[in-house]
Amino acid sequence: MTIELHTWNTPNGRKISVALEEMGLPYKVIPVNITKGEQMAPGFLKLSPNNKIPAIVDPEGPDGKPVSIFESGAILLYLGEKTGKFLPKSLAGRIPVYEWLMWQMGGFGPMPGQVHHFIALENEQDRAYGLKRFMAETRRLYGVLDRRLEGHDFVAGDLSVADFAILGWAWRHPRHKVELADFPNVKRWYEALMARPAVKRGMEAKLD
């Protein structure tokens, strides 16, 4: 049964295409053109009441019944539960996955996202304050990640959905004006993930 991925070519969308490829799940992309406001359409609102991409529809959800899920972190946890992949079975193993997934959702996403916003402003005065504030916080978060990856191949032990979540945003490091060479552990982790065939497929999947 093919999962519907309602999304656009954004970091949050890439998290899910990478996870689906790594998990070997069949899916089809249903583009939601956020540049044209399609995320506000009533049909999409039924799937994602927060009007944000991505959302998925799994025709073979719990008890074999169709289910829709919104919020990228929730989708990743659902897919990990569904497949038994990239989500440890033990509670002790899951704790760091939960921690680093929530770290991404609460910080390493919203903060770089503000950089995306302010860097696009034409008014230099408006840009200057926002960029100074949010670029500094974004670099701090890269530093947190770099320290975590010192001595760790992946953020939560084994490769997990937390890595996919963080990768979606690290993929945009040029847009954050961040040189990965400044964060060598992040650079090593990033290059190792991007070399994986399934990650490559997920990153190259046409989402728009």
The CATH number of the domain holding residue 80 is: 3.40.30.10
Q: Are both 97 and 176 inside the same structural domain?
A: yes
The CATH number of the domain holding residue 169 is: 1.20.1050.10
Full-model pTM: 0.87
Q: State which residues form the domain around 110.
A: 91-196
Counted domains in the chain: 2
- What single string gives the DSSP state of each residue in 28-46? EEEE--GGGTGGGSHHHHH
Preceding peptide of 54 cis, ω within 30°: yes
Q: Are both 55 and 23 inside the same structural domain?
A: yes
Q: Are both 135 and 79 inside the same structural domain?
A: no
Q: Are both 97 and 181 inside the same structural domain?
A: yes
Q: Is 75 exposed, middle or buried (0-12, 13-18, 19+ CB in 10 A)?
A: buried
pLDDT tens series, the chain, 208 aa: 899 999 999 999 999 999 999 999 999 999 999 999 999 999 999 999 999 999 999 999 999 999 999 999 999 999 999 999 999 999 999 999 999 999 999 999 998 888 888 888 788 877 888 888 899 999 999 999 999 999 999 999 999 999 999 999 999 999 999 999 999 999 999 999 999 999 999 999 999 9
Quickly tell me which residue has 């583009």 as its tokens. Answer: 31
Q: In which region does residue 31 sit, left (phi positive, over 0), alpha (psi from -120 to 50) or beta (all else)?
A: beta
Q: Are both 120 and 181 inside the same structural domain?
A: yes
Q: Are both 98 and 189 inside the same structural domain?
A: yes
Q: Are both 105 and 156 inside the same structural domain?
A: yes
Q: Are both 82 and 95 inside the same structural domain?
A: no
Quickly tell me which residue has 């939560």 as its tokens. Answer: 156
Among 20, 89, 85, which residue's Cα sits nearest to residue 57? 20
Q: Are both 83 and 155 inside the same structural domain?
A: no
The pairing of beta strand 55-58 with beta strand 3-7: antiparallel
